[in-house]
Amino acid sequence: MLTVAVTGATGAQGGATARALLTAGHHVRALTRHPDSPVADVLRGLGADVRHADFDAPASLDAALAGADSLFAVTTPFGTDTATETRQGKALVDAAAAARLGHVVFTSAAHADRGTGVPHYESKHAIEQHLRAAGVPWTVIAPAAFMDNYAGGWTLDGLRDGTFAWPMPTDQPLTLIPAADIGAFAALVLQRRDEFAGRRLDIASDELTPAGIADALAAALGRPVAHHEVPLDYVRSRSADLAAMFDYFATAGLDVDVAGLRRDYPEVGWHTFADWAAAQDWPALVS
């Protein structure tokens, strides 16, 4: 039985990882800046040891990691910036090395190691490089585009009018993964350190074009949905970072060996986009 510290435990990836580990019978330290939040209370009810930890407070990281076997590390630039993400990610890696953890699993982004020029990919790659040099056993898992993002933002705005608004050409394939599969795969990696240590793996559970995504959404909603390509200039007016990401998707693509992952790791229980869409409460989301 492992004792795993999980950062971002009240978020999508960290929460999914914490739940997968708890289901497998491991001890989970759910690290969060807000240990009194409702989400933290839910994790506590599931058996997690919820602890306060702040990437900008080294002493809190040291206390949270002391005595743990492993760490699931997730960082995000959104709500801060990429420079802050890089600094915080490196601080977390340093704390893990100081605690002499037996394994650090860092969740990055698919293709972040390919010189994409996408700011929040480059910040994650900088953390990856720091982790490789830290002297602690490591694994990098790098998810493709998040299915969960299709249940929010401008996607919901469009779906209310029967439109799947997305800034990509209709016929451009995109690899996708839900947070649940990221958590299941992360838990697998943490439980099989010797197999995965020193490896970097891009992960995805499905590949669809925007037209295919629109069809899956239509089936889940029970009404017609048509793809509308949002102009990249509109995205750029809201976020240069996201515009760079979608430009990369459209020009370079986001290839991931979905078939190979499904073949080699069936125990993850990979979800297709249609699986994910069918499980969402669309009436509540689009109301």
For residue 78, the model assigns a pLDDT of 66
What is residue 196's three-state secondary structure?
helix
Q: Rounded to a whole number, what is the largest CA-CA distance in the chain?
A: 55
Please name the residue ranges forming H helices in the chain: 12-23, 38-45, 58-65, 82-98, 119-132, 153-159, 179-191, 193-196, 210-221, 232-238, 240-251, 258-264, 273-278, 282-286
Q: How many domains does the chain have?
A: 1
Q: How far is CA 122 from CA 19, 179, 196, in A?
A: 29, 21, 23
Question: Looking at the domain assignment, is residue 201 inside a domain?
Answer: yes
Question: Looking at the domain assignment, is residue 67 inside a domain?
Answer: yes
Q: Distance between alpha carbon 167 and the CA centroid of its chain, in Å?
A: 20
CB 89 within 8 A of CB 56: no
pLDDT in tens, 55-96: 999 999 999 999 999 999 999 866 568 999 999 999 999 999
Amino acid 93 reads: V
Question: Looking at the domain assignment, is residue 152 inside a domain?
Answer: no
CB 47 within 8 A of CB 22: yes
- 207's tokens: 């590949």
Question: Looking at the domain assignment, is residue 239 inside a domain?
Answer: no
Question: Looking at the domain assignment, is residue 230 inside a domain?
Answer: no
CATH number of the domain enclosing 37: 3.40.50.720
Question: Looking at the domain assignment, is residue 113 inside a domain?
Answer: yes
Domain with 71 in it: 3-146+177-205+254-271
Question: Looking at the domain assignment, is residue 187 inside a domain?
Answer: yes
Residue bearing tokens 């190979």: 260
pLDDT in tens, the chain (287 residues): 999 999 999 999 999 999 999 999 999 999 999 999 999 999 999 999 999 999 999 999 999 999 999 999 999 866 568 999 999 999 999 999 999 999 999 999 999 999 999 999 999 999 999 999 999 999 999 999 999 999 988 889 899 999 999 999 999 999 999 999 999 999 999 999 999 999 999 999 999 999 999 999 999 999 999 999 999 999 999 999 999 999 999 999 999 999 999 999 999 999 999 999 999 999 999 98
For residue 79, the model assigns a pLDDT of 59
Question: Looking at the domain assignment, is residue 160 inside a domain?
Answer: no
- 174's tokens: 């995109």
Determine the Cα–Cα distance for residues 151 and 193; give it in Å rounded to an integer.
33
Amino acid 256 reads: V
For residue 285, the model assigns a pLDDT of 95
Q: Count Cα neighbours of 167 within 13 Å in the Cβ-side half-sphere.
A: 20
